[in-house]
Amino acid sequence: MKTIICEQPDSLRLIEQEEPLLGPGTALVRIRRIGICGTDLHAYKGNQPFFSYPRVLGHELAGIIERIDDPENRLKAGDQVSVIPYMHCGECIACRNGKTNCCMDMKVLGVHIDGGMRERVVLPVTHLLEANALTLDQAAVLEPFSIGAHAVRRSGLAAGETALVIGSGPIGLGVMAFAKHRGARVIAMDVQEERLAFCRKWAKVDETVQALDGAKERLLALTGGEMPVAVFDATGNARSMTDAFGYVAHGGRLVYVGLVKGELAFNDPEFHKRELTLMGSRNATPEDFAAVRAAIEAGSIDVDSYITHRSSFEGMLGQFEDWLKPESKVIKAMVEV
């Protein structure tokens, strides 16, 4: 079967692999859609933490079950599915407490183990979510939206509260959408005016802030001098993540959704003065996937406008580098297999 492998930074290659074998409690899934994530792009450029080469990328996946061994008969051949790509151990303290998203021995498809940039893949039935009511595109983007939904759920954001989302990439947009879904007042911050315009149009944010032009003063004005109660940083940028401490209200919450390859530092007196709560938000749980599926089925999330670029499977080899360029204006690229 055809497979695209990232051999080393800046190198993708089409190869032939043997067909995977079905095992107990697994399903053979014919991959039909692959969403391209920041993780894939960072891995391609050699900037992804917890990563080794060579690796088959791809974890935003949708497909059709061709064969299955499901003891509970929850799924069947012919079902369309979305893939939950976080392979947890089921035994560690996080898993025992229902926090499978931060398992101590986490293996994420396309990061720690080979992912879905191939024609077929065998996966545990426990990591497949039935998506017959969705389009293939919608099923493929459950994963990035679930990351945003998880961050919002983790924050405890309530209706009527003011939330600031820093970074308007695919994950940040998902955070905005689900913060709005909760009834919060949402402010988007970014360095690109075009991205901020997209936040207003697509995510229906209430206000936008230019990060490079008096951001703190603008936030103080928008919040009556109190600052947002919940701040989500989805940039993966160390400077932005450090600056975010200064944007949170007294008694508020700062949630790091993005990940930076390095260390961060903050001013401890400011942290204590405000009695801030600092949270990390990693991946998502099956409950988040189900919540996102329900929101898309209800028409609350506009997937069509979220996907801005498309490619065939083999055609991706010639387009991947272009998707990295700011002038390409990629929000979400989708590969059709």
The string of DSSP codes covering 278-301 is: EEE--S--HHHHHHHHHHHHTT-S
Do residue 137 and residue 185 come from a single domain?
A: no
The domain that contains 264 carries what CATH number?
3.40.50.720
Q: How confident is the model at residue 278 (pLDDT cuts 50, 70, 90)?
A: very high
Within a domain: 114: yes
Quote the number of domains for the chain: 2
Q: Which two tokens stand for residue 301?
A: 């999330």
Do residue 224 and residue 137 come from a single domain?
A: no
Do residue 10 and residue 137 come from a single domain?
A: yes
Tens digits of residue pLDDT in 72-128: 889 999 999 999 999 999 999 999 999 999 999 999 999 999 999 999 999 999 999
Within a domain: 26: yes
Residue 36: give the domain boundaries.
2-141+307-336
Within a domain: 298: no
pLDDT(260) > 90:
no
Within a domain: 233: yes
Do residue 115 and residue 66 come from a single domain?
A: yes
The dihedral through the CA atoms of 310, 325, 46, 317 has a sign that is positive
Tens digits of residue pLDDT in 123-140: 999 999 999 999 999 999
Q: How confident is the model at residue 48 (pLDDT cuts 50, 70, 90)?
A: confident
Within a domain: 301: no
* Alpha-carbon torsion angle 292, 201, 162, 166, nearest 10: 80
List all residues 6 or more positions away from 287 whose beta carbon is below 8 Å from its beta carbon. Answer: none
Q: What is the mean pLDDT of residues 22-45?
A: 94
Please report the pLDDT score of residue 135 as a whole number: 98
The residue among 280, 295, 324 that closes a domain is 280
Within a domain: 285: no
The reported pTM is 0.95
Q: Which two tokens stand for residue 326?
A: 């700011």
Within a domain: 168: yes
Do residue 112 and residue 191 come from a single domain?
A: no
pLDDT(309) > 80:
yes
Percent of the chain with pLDDT over 70: 100
Within a domain: 292: no
Do residue 253 and residue 154 come from a single domain?
A: yes
